[in-house]
């Protein structure tokens, strides 16, 4: 009788979710979109119970075009003009579709990490004259509570070691770099300036350090 090889994976093992320090892969499915067909991969974050998503198109092993995007229900789903989140997400998916490969890592950290309820409270304060940073701080939160380390681990799981990162946010570049993902290029994401978002965009540039030279 032969001795089982402990290093050999059975067909059942191949379907078992793969764990990382922060996240665990759960499931995937093909998602056809107007920008092309993506595979949606879902990851569970152990410490928070949040379900994060990677929208993957084509071969992304090694170097890939990537957007790390934080959930914004008001902008992504309902098309709010208070922010530029929805257009940024659509830009990223369009660019990936044109290239035929890439990843959108969609992190479930609404309202820069304060959640939807507090985001709506912050909107009320903004309507009373505060900017987006002042409103968050007035509610007792830091200006930005998001954690991008989770994105680095998801990219590692996907086999992405270097990225062309579609972002204006230097924190995303710094965090990915610190956690083993080489940022070979930062791809600017230009936003349309209009009356409803002009102050918001200006605050992101002046107080959060986002690279938005076109506002000058």
Long-range contacts of 108-111 (CB under 8 A, 24+ apart): 108/50, 108/51, 108/52, 108/53, 108/71, 109/50, 109/70, 109/71, 109/145, 109/146, 109/147, 110/70, 110/71, 110/72, 110/73, 111/72
Alpha-carbon distance 207 to 115, whole Å? Answer: 21
Q: Which one of 50, 76, 144, 186 is the catalytic residue?
A: 144
Query: In the annotation, is 127 catalytic?
Result: no
- Helix crossing, 149-158 with 170-178: angle to 10°? 60
Q: Does the annotation mark 30 as catalytic?
A: no
Q: Which of 127, 146, 174, 216 is catalytic?
A: 146
Q: Is 105 helix (H, G, I), strand (E, B) or coil?
A: strand
Active site residues: 144, 146
């Amino acid at each position: 009788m032969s001795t089982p090889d402990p290093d050999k994976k059975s067909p059942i093992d191949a379907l078992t979710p793969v764990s990382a320090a922060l996240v665990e892969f759960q499931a995937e499915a093909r998602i056809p979109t107007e920008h092309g067909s993506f595979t949606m991969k879902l990851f569970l974050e152990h410490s928070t119970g949040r379900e994060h998503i990677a929208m993957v198109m084509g071969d992304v092993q090694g170097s890939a075009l990537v957007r790390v995007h934080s959930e914004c229900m008001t902008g992504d789903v309902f098309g709010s003009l208070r922010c530029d989140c929805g257009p940024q997400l659509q830009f990223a998916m369009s660019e990936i579709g044109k290239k035929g490969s890439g990843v959108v890592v969609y992190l479930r950290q609404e309202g820069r990490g304060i959640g939807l309820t507090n985001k709506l409270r912050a909107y009320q304060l903004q309507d009373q004259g505060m900017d987006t940073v002042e409103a968050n701080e007035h509610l007792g939160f830091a200006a930005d509570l998001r954690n991008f380390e989770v994105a680095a681990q998801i990219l590692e799981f996907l086999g992405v070691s270097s990225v062309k990162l579609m972002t204006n946010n230097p924190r995303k570049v710094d965090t990915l770099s610190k956690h083993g993902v080489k940022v070979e290029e930062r791809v600017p994401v230009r936003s349309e300036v209009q009356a409803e978002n002009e102050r918001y965009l200006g605050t992101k540039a002046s107080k959060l350090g986002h690279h938005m030279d076109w506002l000058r």
